Structure 1
């Protein structure tokens, strides 16, 4: 089962932003930039990834894990959710 494209659009936007931020972190490290600046940008990347993951969970994880009868395997749901923690 696929996620609804309209529901994942905000996650895609966040992931694209994180992609750019990660490229900036790599560039900063290569240029020998200040440690505090690098860590600040790295924290922004981490937060963007977390938010994208949680948005996907909120919008469609239940849909992804439902079986043919519409029942959700709670153990699988918990395991997947905790993988983001």
Structure 2
């Protein structure tokens, strides 16, 4: 998937940040915090997950298109489009 270890580290960092933020959001809901504050933090979680997803797609696009990742079969244009739209 992601051959470049720097890219792997960046994706993992983003996912861990989102995980921590989500834990915080859960705690806020359990504590009965203001809806506004919860929504702001939930938006931050969503943005962190989106960025991780976009990073994965950006890093893997070349490999997927060339067929050098996974099963060795290049993705079709329709499959690549579906992959991008899954993050929309």
Q: TM-score, normalised by structure 2?
A: 0.83
* Greater relative contact order structure (CA < 8 Å, 6+ sep): 1
Aligned residues: 84
Q: Distance in 1 between matches of 2:45 and 2:30?
A: 17
Unaligned runs of 5+ in 1: none
Q: Distance in 1 between matches of 2:67 and 2:12?
A: 26
Q: CA deviation at 1:8?
A: 2.2
Q: CA deviation at 1:64?
A: 3.3
Unaligned runs of 5+ in 2: none
Q: CA deviation at 1:6?
A: 2.3
Instruction: Supply the RMSD in Å over aligned alpha carbons.
Output: 2.0
Q: Distance in 2 between matches of 1:78 and 1:51?
A: 17
